[in-house]
Chain A
């Protein structure tokens, strides 16, 4: 794996979700495990600990993960269904819930589309050409991962708020950015900015430029080359980036909270509605919405695992 794709910058991308880090780091991990099984049970093995210590370490790891990670997830579903499935479904059919779901889907579609286009364009420029300042450019793309979500929202308040740089101009033209859908979309685009580009850059660098050069020399145009040669090669990586981008876009709370204005039925996304309902002690409703987001997270993790396996094989699926 090329170091220039940013082993140096890669820590920041772990920040939210670790797209490229997962590509670089944990996939080779699983590959090697298969390749090199360790006979930990063999008595003369020098590379393991005595039985009781092994037991304690496993018990600690399993207990910690169960208590701190699994239990919160179980609480979400237990609370959501605590008054039965009818109450659960009824609360999801509330107009407020429906409008939050609609807004979340809209914002996700907008920000995933924009970041998909940007990510592919940026990855083409960065992975297929050599230029000075590449590492620096990747660091800039990574910036949103190292900015607190609240600050990601704040920067747009400073730009578009009433006291902001563009505030007076926007007001005189009656354009609403802040406390409206455009502001929510902008903040979401900001926090999900690196996902697609960061999933594609290492993959495209690894694949090199030979296939594209061959296509060009045979007379294909740039766009033909991209759609017929590059895209089929990167489709799983692209899907991976889109998956992570989408999960974050739908789940973003801090940044969106700052720019939304919390107008009920208008500018509340699902995570914001979770907060409002929770603060009003409407626990079943709050956790019902939360359960939808939790399911999104679980589905994302499953699909992510499948995609990682595909990327490891470097093969398209064989119709299975």
Chain B
């Protein structure tokens, strides 16, 4: 990829600032990430395959990706409901709840992790009543799922919210005046035009949950093959000095998250061509 100037150079400093930007970017981001891939090439294909398809790795990837997908689905549904309430209705505390949506973004992950664990532990405020119902959350895969739901909710809300606000009111008024009932208007007219934003929010929540570490490990239980997430397995392999194992798992996760981002970018482009600009 070449980066060449194509502007009448009225302002000074392009060469200098671009040079510094590329240098700093290379030192902090590109070289370290390249090192990860270089390290992988030290492995033979068989070794790499062996690590990635070992039972424990596969189970960790399954836990991470499977539960992230489930959590992102919940975020999709609950996020839509929250956006609808925040945008379409007026109720006491609406602005406060709008601000509250950002807390999972802002709260350090370790803090979220210990707080959720304490809340859902057997003697916790929610854990105790749930235990009476026979539901165990903390230190089970359910706990991982809960933490992922927590961390993902702002992604759906903040992606869909501006689109719903910008939605042209005339469309649904037209639908209604043409005889569509409210149910039809919502499900046949409004929700379809939210689909690109909903999918983007879903993908972002999913990608975040897959890589999440701090808010998950406390509540997870971390039992190999059952409640062990892939990022934790990387940390464990590192502490055992099995760098090759850690690197191979990291590469799989990295490639997966790049694919998700690529999909999100395509979605955004698709959405831009589909919905005329205002």
The answer to whether residues A157 and B264 also contact, given A129-B11, A149-B213, A189-B28 and a CB cut-off of 8 A, is no
**B10 touching A26 by the CB < 8 A rule?**
no
- Least distance between A297 CB and chain B CB atoms (Å): 4
Evaluate whether A118 and B21 lie within 8 angstroms (CB atoms) in the complex, with A155-B32, A155-B36 already known: yes
A79 to B117, CA, bound (A): 12
Q: Which A residue's beta carbon lies closest to that of B31?
A: A159
Secondary structure call for the B interface:
helix
> How far does the alpha carbon of A73 sit from the alpha carbon of B102 in the complex, in Å?
12
Question: Count of A-B contacts with CB under 8 A?
Answer: 344
Question: Would you call A11 an interface residue if the criterion is a C-beta within 8 Å of the partner chain's C-beta atoms?
Answer: yes
Given A7-B272, A12-B261 in contact, is the A213-B39 Cβ separation under 8 Å? no
- B36 lies within 8 A of A193 (CB): no
Residues in A whose Cβ lies below 8 Å from that of B153: 64, 68-69
Q: List chain B residues, Cβ under 8 A from A212.
A: 11
Known pairs A11-B261, A151-B211; A76 contacts B111 (CB<8 A): yes
Q: Is A18 an interface residue (CB 8 A)?
A: yes
- Does A131 have its Cβ within 8 Å of any Cβ on chain B? yes
CA A159 to CA B33, docked complex, whole Å: 10
A residues near B238, Cβ cutoff 8 Å: 154, 157, 258
User: Quick one: closest B residue to A56, CB to CB?
Assistant: B81
- Does residue B2 face the partner (Cβ distance < 8 Å to A)? yes
Residue A133 CB within 8 A of the other chain: yes
User: In the complex, are the beta carbons of B107 and A73 less than 8 A apart?
Assistant: yes
Q: Does B29 contact A (CB under 8 A)?
A: yes
At the interface, yes or no: A264 with Cβ under 8 Å from chain B? no
Instruction: Please classify the interface of chain A as helix (H, G, I), strand (E, B), loop, or mixed, using the class held by over half of its residues.
Output: helix
Residues of B within 8 A of A293 (CB): 107-108, 110-111
A198 to chain B minimum Cβ distance, whole angstroms, is 13
What is the distance, in angstroms, from B84's C-beta to the closest C-beta of chain A? 6
Give the residue among A21, A33, A73, A75 with the most B Cβ atoms within 10 A.
A75
Point out the residues of chain B lying under 8 angstroms from A3, CB to CB: 272
Q: Does A169 contact B (CB under 8 A)?
A: no
Please give the distance in Å from A67's CB to the nearest CB on chain B.
Answer: 7
Contact in complex: A29, B162 (CB < 8 Å): yes
A267–chain B nearest beta-carbon distance, Å: 15
Binary interface encoding of chain B residues 134-150 relative to chain A, with 1 for a CB under 8 A from any of its CBs, else 0:
00000000000010011
Do B97 and A290 touch across chains, with their CB atoms under 8 A apart? no
Which residues of A lie under 8 Å from residue B24 when comparing CB positions? 118, 121-122
12 residue pairs of the A-B complex, CB under 8 angstroms, read: A25-B162, A46-B172, A46-B176, A48-B182, A72-B112, A146-B207, A151-B211, A159-B31, A165-B38, A213-B11, A278-B114, A298-B106
In addition to A60-B78, A251-B111, 6 A-B residue pairs with Cβ atoms within 8 Å of each other are A32-B166, A40-B88, A141-B29, A148-B253, A190-B29, A297-B108
